[in-house]
Amino acid sequence: MANIQQISITHLSFTYQHDTNTVLHDINVSAPLNSIIGIIGNHNAGKTTLCRVLAGIIPNMMGGDLLGDVHIGNLSPTKDWSVLNRQTDFVLQDPNSQLSGLADTVADEIAFDLLNHGVDETTIQRRVADVAAQMQLTAQLQQSPSSLSGGQLQRLAIATAIVTKPGILILDDPTSEMDPQGRADFFNWLATIKDTTIFIVSNEIDDLCEIADRLWVLVDGELVRKGTSLEVINQLNPEWQIGTPKVYQLAKLMYWSLGADLFPVNINQLRGCVHDQHSN
Amino acid sequence: MKENGIENKGNRFNMWKIHLSVATVTLIPAAVGINYVAKAFAEGLKLPLWLGSLGTYLASMLAGPTAGAISGFINNIIYGLTLSPVSTVYSITSIAIGIVVGVLFNRGWFSNAKRVFVSAILIALTSAIISTPLNVIFWGGQTGIPWGDALFATMIGNHINIWIASFTDEFVLDILDKVVVAYIAFFIYRQLPQRMINYFKDNQ
Amino acid sequence: MEIRDNSLSNIAKIRWYNLIDPVTKLLVALFLTMLSFVFTNLYFEVSLVLISFVLLLLSRLSSATINAVYFCLFLIVTMILIQGLFYSGNVHPLFSIMNITFYREGALYAVTMSARILIIIFAIGFFMSTTTISENAKYLEAIGLPYKLVYLLMSVCYILPQIQQNMKKIQFAERARGINPQKTVAQKVRSILPILIPLIIKTFDQSINRSITLQLRGFDSPERTLATPKYHYVRARFNHYLLSFLTIFLIGCKLWQIFSRFL
């Protein structure tokens, strides 16, 4: 069952301890490794819980009734947690909780994971500088983390996660406090990452459709749609009340279809579509 | 998990290695913070109470007597280092409070309002018995709370033994404080979400 | 370019007290305190107060220390009053005002205790104003304290300002909602519960999240690089042994003083 090149989730159900509501309900899905998977859904749909299962927080730190099987490559977050944890990084919803709480400067905060893993000082210096540049935090390196704005704090949280060069990156709503420019920069940066399996929970449906290889839609703990963003957005049930990208709304209004009742969901598709319309 | 490999080379502090889970390690600072806030509230409202052990009570209830004792100890050490150096010595009292609350809670003595009252009296007794010698050594028997000290002065003025006078001064203040804190802790614990209680219970 | 500030070249100016390690500073505080307990001669106590005060003046007199003195002032004053009037060993009157006699023995006893308190405040003030949280954290880790314990101690220092912030926000929200001034203790206690409960739940939630993050971020990993101390300290280990030995010796003296009274 464990395909080395696949993420596979089979019959995954989960209920938190001392709780009667099933948070995740019989989820079956697979995707190739090193792809970007966008997870969307409304409040309390089970997005954060799914992330916790993928990161092994459930059942290693939070108990409950976990059924089914999850494999990322040949590793299982349940059984091989300590090995998997070395390759995985998680950005929590609340960036404040992401911080070690024990760093005087942004630079020390970013270095925390590397120190824990016994990386040598020269490598630490280089990686910290590198990651800070990617997250536009170079000017803040000597500041205290508590002096940062919400958006900067979220970028710091991401920086602490990517500094270890994880093979698997789980991002739980990483842009909620960023301004539009910061968010755009973040998604542009995310698209450039190679050789990393990325799970990203976000409400920024426009941005997700630009970069995600796959979208998974959760409604009340059930995985109701999975596939490319083009397939998923075109098959959304209005009852789920999930937002659609502006490109899609516009294309639908203008009847710019890609054929077979499929409307474009990102700029590239739209461009192709409008181009076709013109050449007709 | 990664519990079995903390031995650093040349570790001279192995005797300190009480098993602490990561959850307890992050709970204790929170408990200390709550002590601090509760104390600030009591001072802000000019209550004749300290309330400064609320976090210690909650830590004991959530994660057991050891966590409570450490919270109490660290609370007084940090408070002593930053605000009032002499309160450092009362860390012994705080350790005892943490242990007694944790043991009473585990034995079910925080399960209903009546039992909480009995617990509170036991906690106040423990606190007063341990604090009295400290008061005598450092302050000649006073507690620093005006109306308690007025009582103390009256008793000393009437040639009552200093130990009895000091114990009375401390116990009168303790009984009120510990009863109120016990009820607040009892009430708050019941408001905590079940997942929170489980998390600390599972990760001890 | 050094990004992480842990090299000596980045420190502008090294003062004399930077050459003494934090543990030695704490042991000095302990040693002075024990000295004041063993030798209760008034002149000796006063000179100890002066020594610790000079120590503080030669380093930095921070406002925290002044606050601590202020904090104890009420107690010191009432202590002198109560003991001067009612101390059980009172024999020689010092002065009398309207039939109330103030005695020498009690006053002396109270002054000795006050001196002891001032010594503790000044000696700890010296430790506090000449070290920083990160310096202490690095040093404790470097001398072999498990990182978990270092984290525990230091995060308390970091969490207090955070909690104060949360408290201000909630107080502000509550004030906006409007709370009537309360009169009885029970009413007052009840009035703080609506503020206290959300604050406590939020604080505990943050500690749950933090404990998860720390585990995900490899906290407590056996491979952790031990921190290097911030300064190069002079004779740290020798100082620790010497001061520990002297302090233990003084504790022994004190115990002997107490027990010999019963012999």
C144–chain B Cβ distance below 8 A for any pair: yes
Q: Which of A58, A116, A127 to mutate against chain C (most C CBs within 10 Å)?
A: A116
- The whole-angstrom separation of Cα C251 and Cα C257 is 10
Residue B6 domain-assigned (yes or no)? no
- The whole-angstrom separation of Cα C57 and Cα C64 is 14
Are C159 and B28 a contacting pair at CB < 8 A? no
Q: Which of A61, A100, A142 to mutate against chain C (most C CBs within 10 Å)?
A: A100
Buried-exposed string A86-100: b where 16+ CB fall within 10 A, e elsewhere: ebbbbbbbbbbbbbb
pLDDT digits (tens, 9 = 90+) for B159-179: 889 999 999 999 999 999 999
- The whole-angstrom separation of Cα C147 and Cα C142 is 10
> What's the burial of A60, exposed, middle or buried (CB within 10 Å: 0-12/13-18/19+)?
buried
* Residue B9 pLDDT exceeds 60: no
**What are residue A225's DSSP bridge partners?**
A217
Asked if residues A45 and A25 have their Cβ atoms less than 8 Å apart, the reply is no
Residue B10 — pLDDT band, cuts 50, 70, 90? very low
Strands A214-219 and A222-227: antiparallel
Pick from A103-107, C24-28, C61-65, C100-104 the range whose average pLDDT is largest.
C24-28
- The whole-angstrom separation of Cα A37 and Cα B124 is 57
Q: How many helices (H) and strands (E) does chain C have?
A: 8, 2
φ, ψ of residue A67 in degrees (nearest 5): -120, 160
Residues making up chain C, counted from first to last: 263
pLDDT at B61: 96
φ, ψ of residue C90 in degrees (nearest 5): -60, 125
pLDDT at B179: 94
Position with higher pLDDT, C242 vs C227: C242
Looking at chain B, which subunits does it touch, using at least 3 CB pairs closer than 8 Å as the criterion? Answer: A, C
Chain B: residue whose CA lies nearest to C71: B84
Q: Which of A104, A127, A156 to mutate against chain C (most C CBs within 10 Å)?
A: A104
- Side chain identity at C209, as an amino acid letter? N
pLDDT at A50: 94
- Nearest Cα neighbor of A18 from B102, B201, B24 is B201
What does the pLDDT average to over C208-224?
A: 86
* Residue B11 pLDDT exceeds 50: no
Average pLDDT, whole number, for chain B? 86
* Chain C residues with CB-CB distance to A99 below 8 A: 210, 213
Are A19 and B1 a contacting pair at CB < 8 A? no
Are C223 and A118 a contacting pair at CB < 8 A? yes
Distant-in-sequence, close-in-space partners of A262: CB < 8 Å, separation ≥ 6: A230, A234
Q: How many domains does one find in chain B?
A: 1
Distant-in-sequence, close-in-space partners of C220: CB < 8 Å, separation ≥ 6: A116, B2, B3, B6, B22, C147, C148, C214
Are B198 and A61 a contacting pair at CB < 8 A? no
Residue B55 domain-assigned (yes or no)? yes
pLDDT at C219: 83
What CATH number is given to the structural domain containing B166?
1.10.1760.20
φ, ψ of residue A177 in degrees (nearest 5): -110, 10
pLDDT at B100: 96
CA dist list (Å): C30 to C39, C122, C161: 14, 12, 28
Task: Extract the tokens encoding A77.
Answer: 């977050």
* Residue C12 pLDDT exceeds 60: no
Cis ω for the linkage preceding A59 (within 30 of 0): yes
Structural domain including B183 reads 20-202
Pick from A132-136, C132-136, C226-230 the range whose average pLDDT is largest.
A132-136
B199–chain A Cβ distance below 8 A for any pair: yes
> What's the burial of A147, exposed, middle or buried (CB within 10 Å: 0-12/13-18/19+)?
exposed
DSSP C222: T
Residues making up chain A, counted from first to last: 280
- The whole-angstrom separation of Cα A204 and Cα C30 is 58
Strands A168-172 and A197-201: parallel
Q: What is the mean pLDDT of each run of 10 residues along chain A (280 residues)?
A: 77 87 92 94 92 90 89 87 88 86 87 90 92 93 89 94 92 92 92 92 93 94 93 91 92 85 88 74
Chains B, C: CB contacts within 8 A come to: 201
Residue B64 — pLDDT band, cuts 50, 70, 90? very high
φ, ψ of residue B9 in degrees (nearest 5): -65, 135
The residue with tokens 């995900």 is: C216
Buried-exposed string B18-27: b where 16+ CB fall within 10 A, e elsewhere: eebbbbbbbb
**What are residue C96's DSSP bridge partners?**
C101
Chain A: residue whose CA lies nearest to C165: A146
CB count, 10 Å around CB of A129?
17
Asked if residues C144 and B10 have their Cβ atoms less than 8 Å apart, the reply is yes
Residue B7 domain-assigned (yes or no)? no
Q: Is B11 left (phi over 0), alpha (psi -120 to 50) or beta?
A: beta
Domains with residue ranges and CATH for chain A: 6-244 (3.40.50.300), 245-280 (no CATH)
Strands A6-16 and A22-32: antiparallel
Asked if residues B142 and C75 have their Cβ atoms less than 8 Å apart, the reply is yes
Q: What share of chain B is helix, strand, coil (3-state, %, to 5)?
A: 75, 0, 25
pLDDT digits (tens, 9 = 90+) for A39-83: 999 988 999 999 999 999 988 888 889 999 999 988 888 888 888
Residue B68 domain-assigned (yes or no)? yes
Distant-in-sequence, close-in-space partners of C195: CB < 8 Å, separation ≥ 6: B41, C170, C171, C174
Residue B10 domain-assigned (yes or no)? no
Chains A, B: CB contacts within 8 A come to: 22
C→A contacts (Cβ < 8 Å), by residue, are 1-5, 133-134, 137, 151, 154-155, 158-159, 161-162, 206, 209-221, 223-225, 227
CB count, 10 Å around CB of A173?
20
> What's the burial of B159, exposed, middle or buried (CB within 10 Å: 0-12/13-18/19+)?
exposed
Q: At what angle do helices B113-139 and B162-191 cross, to 10 degrees?
A: 140
Kindly provide the ipTM of the predicted complex, given to two decimals. 0.86
Asked if residues B196 and C205 have their Cβ atoms less than 8 Å apart, the reply is yes
147-176 in B: which are within 8 Å (CB) of C?
Answer: 149, 152-153, 156-157, 159, 162
Are B27 and C143 a contacting pair at CB < 8 A? no
CB count, 10 Å around CB of C117?
22
What does the pLDDT average to over C94-119?
A: 89
- Nearest Cα neighbor of C52 from C23, C31, C71 is C31
Q: Is A55 left (phi over 0), alpha (psi -120 to 50) or beta?
A: alpha
* Residue C1 pLDDT exceeds 70: no
A→C contacts (Cβ < 8 Å), by residue, are 55, 57, 60-61, 85-86, 88-90, 92, 94, 96-102, 104-105, 107-108, 111-113, 115-121, 124-125, 128-129, 132, 141-142, 146, 160
Task: Extract the tokens encoding B134.
Answer: 């400290």
CA B202 to chain centre: 24
pLDDT at C60: 81
Which of A60, A62, A82 shows the shortest C-beta gap to B199?
A: A62
Q: At what angle do helices B65-82 and B54-63 cross, to 10 degrees?
A: 150
* Chain C residues with CB-CB distance to A120 below 8 A: 225
Q: Is the sign of the CA dihedral A79, A84, A85, A88 positive or negative?
A: negative
pLDDT digits (tens, 9 = 90+) for B78-116: 888 877 777 888 999 999 999 999 999 999 999 999 999
pLDDT at B67: 93
Asked if residues B75 and B92 have their Cβ atoms less than 8 Å apart, the reply is no
Residue B24 domain-assigned (yes or no)? yes
* Residue B16 pLDDT exceeds 50: no
B180–chain C Cβ distance below 8 A for any pair: yes
- Sheet holding A22-32: strands in order across? A22-32, A6-16, A64-72
**What are residue A16's DSSP bridge partners?**
A64
- The whole-angstrom separation of Cα A107 and Cα C134 is 14
B36–chain C Cβ distance below 8 A for any pair: yes
Q: What is the CA radius of gyration of chain B?
A: 18
The residue with tokens 């290693």 is: A60
Distant-in-sequence, close-in-space partners of A242: CB < 8 Å, separation ≥ 6: A40, A41, A42, A205, A217, A236
Are A18 and B195 a contacting pair at CB < 8 A? yes
- Nearest Cα neighbor of C110 from C72, C81, C90 is C81
Distant-in-sequence, close-in-space partners of A112: CB < 8 Å, separation ≥ 6: A100, A102, A103, A160, C217
B45–chain C Cβ distance below 8 A for any pair: yes
Looking at chain C, which subunits does it touch, using at least 3 CB pairs closer than 8 Å as the criterion? Answer: A, B
C96–chain B Cβ distance below 8 A for any pair: no
pLDDT at C182: 59
Q: Which of C148, C228, C244, C258 to mutate against chain B (most B CBs within 10 Å)?
A: C148
Which of C4, C133, C217 shows the shortest C-beta gap to A100?
A: C217
Q: At what angle do helices C104-130 and C22-38 cross, to 10 degrees?
A: 170
Residue B49 domain-assigned (yes or no)? yes
φ, ψ of residue A197 in degrees (nearest 5): -90, 120
Secondary structure in 3-state letters for A206-261 = HHHHHHCCEEEEEECCEEEEEECHHHHHHCCCHHHCCCCCHHHHHHHHHCCCCCCC
Chain C: residue whose CA lies nearest to B9: C144
